[in-house]
Amino acid sequence: MSAVKAGDAFAVYGLLRKGASGFAQFGLEAAFRPLGPCRIPGVIHDLGGYPGLVAGEGAVIGELFEVADPSVIARLDAFEDYYPQAPDRSRYLRQRIRLVSPDADAWVYVWNRPVTGFARVESGDWLEWVASKT
């Protein structure tokens, strides 16, 4: 797996979106430069307070950023239980994916476990899903 570099695109869809808990926790306001909304191919499931993106027919609502400070990536990998040297132990994998829109490649955390029994977020919008449950 290649390293994330300054200037790379990074798409987020759950707790790392602006306004969600992880965005502030990891100081992404300083580490990521906002590029605008994006749509990520696949579907998300509610895994019990956080989402998991898996391959499927659909598009997930996300936010696209340019990495300004790649030193934050190691902390994000740890948060997402992504172990580059042990993908079989990882709950998420960090992969480069071609977005639905805009037409670009971006790093995305993809769920690396079965989603059987977990609710599918039909709208593809994690923040909307969470708001509807409160």
Spell out the domains of the chain, with CATH numbers in brackets: 9-132 (3.10.490.10)
Amino acid at 39: R
Smallest Cα–Cα separation from 1: which of 62, 72, 82?
82
pLDDT digit string, tens, across residues 109-132: 999 999 999 999 999 999 999 999
Average pLDDT, integer, range 19-34 = 89
pLDDT digit string, tens, across residues 41-59: 999 999 999 999 999 999 9
Smallest Cα–Cα separation from 31: which of 12, 11, 6?
6
pLDDT band at 92, cuts 50/70/90?
A: very high
**Coil/strand/helix, residue 18:** coil
- Tokens representing 96? 């480069």
Q: What percent of the chain has pLDDT over 70?
A: 99
pLDDT of residue 119: 96
Find the radius of gyration of the CA atoms of the chain. 14
pLDDT band at 133, cuts 50/70/90?
A: confident
Neighbour order of strands in the sheet with 92-98: 92-98, 105-111, 9-12, 51-67, 32-46, 119-120
Number of H helices, E strands in the chain: 4, 6
